[in-house]
Structure 1
Amino acid sequence: MHAKTTLPPQRRRDPRLDFFRGLGMFIIFVAHLPENTWTLWIPARFGFSDATEIFVFCSGMASAIAFGKVFDHQGWWMGTARVSHRVWQVYWAHVCQFLVIAAGLVAVERSGILISCCGLEQDYVGSLNLWHFFDRTGENLPGLLTLTYVPNYFDILPMYIVILALMPVILAVSRIGRGWVFAVMAALWLAASFRLLDLPAEPWSDRRWFFNPFAWQLLFFTGFAFMRGWLPAPPVRRDLIVVAAVIVLATVPFAWFHAYEASPALLEIRTMIEPLWIKSEFGILRYVHFLALAYLAWIAVGAKGSYLVTENLWGACVGVVQKVGQQSLAVFLASLVLAQAIGILRDMVWGRGNFFVEFLANGLGFAGLIAVAYAVGWYKSQPWRKQKSPLVPAVVVADDMSARSAPRGSGEGERERRA
C-alpha cells in the first residue's frame, strides 16, 4: 500500500498586486515614449507620486511573497542567497538593456537613414545624454559595470538592485523586533534626505543617482511590511476615505502645471516646499500622497480584489493587465526598448503631434508589452517539459488483463507474468 503524498497548498496570486503592477508598466511606457502627449494625463501630472511609486511599492509586496518564505523556511543564509541570485539577474538585465538601447540608437544615428529617407536630424543619442558614453568609453564602460555611471533613463533598476541588497539587513533586524525595522527604514530615509547617503552617477561630475535607493527603500519596505503582516491592513472607514480623498485632491493645484503656472502664489508655494515632494530623495509628501491614493485604489477594487475577478469584458481586460504585472521585470525591460524604437518609427513614418499618430504609437507599445508578457509567461511554463502520456497498445492491455485473471500458480498465468 503506497503512502499518499500530500502536496503543500498552492498560494493564489493576489489579483490586486498583479493588476496594479501591470497598470504601472503601461504608465511607465507612456512616460518614456519621447515627446508623447499622453504624458499630460498620467498620475504624475495630478499628484506628487507617479508610476515609479506603484512599481516600487508593488515590488516590495511581491518580494515579501517571493523571498520572505525562503527566509522563514530555510533560514537567513539561504534567503540571502536567494536575494543575491535575484540581484545578479537584475544587474545583468540592467547592463544588457543599456547596451541594447545605446547600440540601437547610435546605429540609427550613424546609418543616416533618418536624413536620407525622412530629412530628420533628431539626436536620439543626445536626447538620453549618451554621447558621454561613446566619447569616453574607456572611462564609462567600467562605470557602467560598477554602477558608477547611471544615465537618468536607466536609473530605476540600479535603485532596485540596492534596495534588494538591503532586504537581508531588514530581515536580520526584524529578529530583534519590528520596531527596529521601522527605525532603520526611517534612519536610512532621513540620512538620504539630508544627502548623507548618496551614490555617484557619473565619473566626470558630482551628479548623484536620480533615484536615491536609501530614500526609496522607505516605500519598498512599507509594501514589504504590509505583505509580511508587520503592518495591519487599514480599516475601511468613511472618515479615512474622506481624509485620503482630501489629500489627493489638495495636491492637484501644486502638481498640475496648468494650475501652478496660472497662479504665482501656487508656484511660489510649490517651489518653497520642493524638498517635501522632490523625487530623487523621495520627499515625504510623495509618500503621503501615494499612501492616500493607494488606500482609495485598494477600496475601489473591492475586498480581495472582488471587482477585478469578473466573467465579462472588464474581467478579460483585467486579466491582460494582470498578465503584464506578473512579468513586470521583463515587461519593464521591453518597455524602455520599445519606447525608443516606436518613437523613432513614429518620427520616420508619421511625425509628431497628431492625435491619431499618438494613439497609434501608444497602442503599438501597449500591444508590444502584452506580447512580451504572454511570451515570457509561456517560456516560464517550460512547455517542453510537459510530456504527454504514451498510448499503451491494446494488445499489451489485453495481455496484462489475462495475466491478472489467470489463477495463481497456473502455467498460463505464470508465463504471462514472466512475459
Structure 2
Amino acid sequence: MFIIFIAHVPHNPWKAWIPAAFGPSDATELFVFCSGMASAMAFGSLFRDRSFFLGTARTAYRVWQVYWAHVCLFAVMVTMIAIFDQMHGDDFYSTRLYTRPIFDDTARHLIGFMTLQYVPNYFDILPMYMVILMMMPVVMALSRISRWAVFAFIGGVWFLTQFDILQLGAEVREGNDREWFFNPFGWQIIFFLGFSFVMGWIKPPPRSWWLVLAAAVIVGLGVLTASRYGWGNFDWVIPFRRANRWLFWKTDLGIFRIVHFLAVCYLAWFVVGEGGKRLAMSGIPGRIVDVIRKVGQQSLAVFVSGMVLSQFMGAALDQTAERGPVALAWANLTGCAILIGIAYLVGWYKSEPWRREVVVPAKRVAEPRAEPRSEARGGEATSAEVRTLEPRTKGRAAV
C-alpha cells in the first residue's frame, strides 16, 4: 500500500526506489497476488466447507462493495481535481489525471463510467478486481472436477489475452478503441496463483539454494532489461525490448512479468522463512511488522484512501517553489503516516466495539448488622442469621 501511494504521487522522485524501478513486475502484481490469497481465506472456505451458493453470494457481496468503493473514489477524485483546476485557473489537473472527458461530455461518460464502459487509466485497478472476483465461482466449480481443470482454465484465458482475443473497451467515444489498462483476463492468472497456494492446489516449492540462484538470475535479468541501470548502460536493451514487447506487456501481463514476480516472491519467501517465522520479531522491528500487517489487512480502505491522498500530496507539492528533499519527505512520509492511521481506524470500526459487553464492577454491598436472637423464636437463630453471623464469628476467632 505504501509503494502504491508513492508510485501515484505525480512527479515523485521517490518512485526511483520502489520495486518497479528495478524490474518488470511491480506493486500491482503483489497487490493482485495477495488479494488472491486473501480471497481464498475469505471466500474459498465458504465454497469448500459450506456450499457453492453461499460462496457465490459472499463473492457477489464483495463485488458490490468494491463497485461502490470504485464509484466513491471516482466521485471524490473528480470533485477534488475540479477544485484544483479552479484554483489553478485552467484544466491542468483534470488533463493530467486523464479525466477531462467527464467534464467535456458528462452525460455519456457518466453513464459509461457507472456501467464500466468508460474506465479512466487512474481508476482501473478496482474494475479489474471486480471482474476477477466474478470469475471465482467458475474456478470453484471447475475445482470440483479437478485442480488441473482450474489450471487449464486460468492458463487458457491468460493465453487468449496475449493475442488480444479477450479484452474490454475502456472508452465510449467513437473512434477510440482503448482497452482497460489492466486486462482482467490477463491479470487473473496472478490472482488465482495466490488463490491456489492458499487452497492447497499448489504446494510451496522446496527450499533450495539452486532455486535461489535461478531466482536471483531472473531478478538480475529484470534489472538489466527493465530498469534505468540497463536502459542507459547497455545498447542492446532497447532493441531487445522493442523486438520482444510481448514479454513485458503490463496490460495483458506478459510472461516475463509473471516469471520475474514469482522469482521475487521465492526470494522473499526464502528470506522470511516458512510461514514468515523470521518476521516474528520483538522490539521496534516487530512493531514495524505489525504496522505493515495492519495496513495490509485493511487493503481496500487503505488503497482507496491512498489513491486520493497521492493526488492531494501531488497538488500540495505543486505549490512549493521546487520539490526539494524536505518537501518530498514531508509529502511521502506524511502520506504513509495517514494511511497507517486510516488502517487502524478502519480496524477499530470493524471490531465493532459498541457490541462488546460492558463489564460493570460489582457494587460493594454493606454487610448487614448481626441482630440479637429474637426471643419470639425461642432464642434460636434462623438459617439466614447463621449465614450472616458466620463470617463475623470467624473474623473474631482469627483475630
Count of aligned pairs: 373
Corresponding residue for 2:127?
A: 158
> How far 1:283 sits from its partner (Å)?
0.3
Asked if 1:252 corresponds to 2:223, the answer is yes
Question: What is the one-letter code of the residue matched to 2:336?
Answer: F
Corresponding residue for 1:181?
A: 150
1:168-197 CA distances to partner (integer Å, 9 max, x unpaired)?
100000001011100001110011111111
CA contact (8 A) 1:200 1:207 kept: yes
> How far 1:258 sits from its partner (Å)?
4.1
Corresponding residue for 1:193?
A: 162
> How far 1:68 sits from its partner (Å)?
1.0
Where do 5+ consecutive residues of structure 1 fail to align?
Answer: 1-24, 116-120, 400-409
Question: What is the one-letter code of the residue matched to 2:41?
Answer: I
CA contact (8 A) 1:261 1:267 kept: no
Corresponding residue for 1:309?
A: 280
Q: 273-282 vs 300-309, which deviates more?
A: 300-309
> How far 1:391 sits from its partner (Å)?
3.1
Q: 1:76 to 1:267 in 2, by over 3 A?
A: same
Picking from 357, 365, 381, the partner of 2:327 is 357
Asked if 1:345 corresponds to 2:316, the answer is yes
Distance 1:264 1:374 in 2: 48
1:224-253 CA distances to partner (integer Å, 9 max, x unpaired)?
001110000111011111001111011211
CA contact (8 A) 1:37 1:353 kept: no
> How far 1:411 sits from its partner (Å)?
7.9
Distance 2:235 2:215 in 1: 27
1:268-316 CA distances to partner (integer Å, 9 max, x unpaired)?
0011111111100000000100000000001111222122111121111
Asked if 1:34 corresponds to 2:10, the answer is yes
Corresponding residue for 1:208?
A: 179
1:39-82 CA distances to partner (integer Å, 9 max, x unpaired)?
11111111110000000001101111011111122210110000
Alignment of 1:216-231 (within 5 A): 216-231=187-202
Distance 2:342 2:293 in 1: 13
Runs of at least 4 residues off by over 4 Å: 396-399, 410-413
Question: What is the one-letter code of the residue matched to 2:80?
Answer: G
Q: 1:371 to 1:321 in 2, by over 3 A?
A: same
Asked if 1:381 corresponds to 2:357, the answer is no
Question: What is the one-letter code of the residue matched to 2:133?
Answer: L
Distance 1:76 1:263 in 2: 54
Distance 1:122 1:138 in 2: 19
Distance 1:336 1:251 in 2: 27
CA contact (8 A) 2:317 2:323 kept: no
Corresponding residue for 2:49?
A: 73
Distance 1:381 1:352 in 2: 43
Distance 1:395 1:253 in 2: 79
Question: What is the one-letter code of the residue matched to 2:204?
Answer: A
Distance 1:285 1:223 in 2: 18
CA contact (8 A) 2:63 2:134 kept: yes
Asked if 1:138 corresponds to 2:138, the answer is no
Where do 5+ consecutive residues of structure 2 fail to align?
Answer: 370-380, 388-399
Picking from 129, 133, 138, the partner of 1:169 is 138
Picking from 335, 338, 342, the partner of 1:368 is 338
Distance 2:213 2:206 in 1: 13
> How far 1:390 sits from its partner (Å)?
2.4
Q: 1:397 to 1:196 in 2, by over 3 A?
A: farther
Asked if 1:47 corresponds to 2:18, the answer is no
> How far 1:210 sits from its partner (Å)?
0.4
Distance 2:123 2:195 in 1: 24
Secondary structure of the 2:23 match is coil
Picking from 96, 112, 126, the partner of 1:127 is 96
Corresponding residue for 1:264?
A: 235
> How far 1:397 sits from its partner (Å)?
9.6
Distance 1:254 1:353 in 2: 29
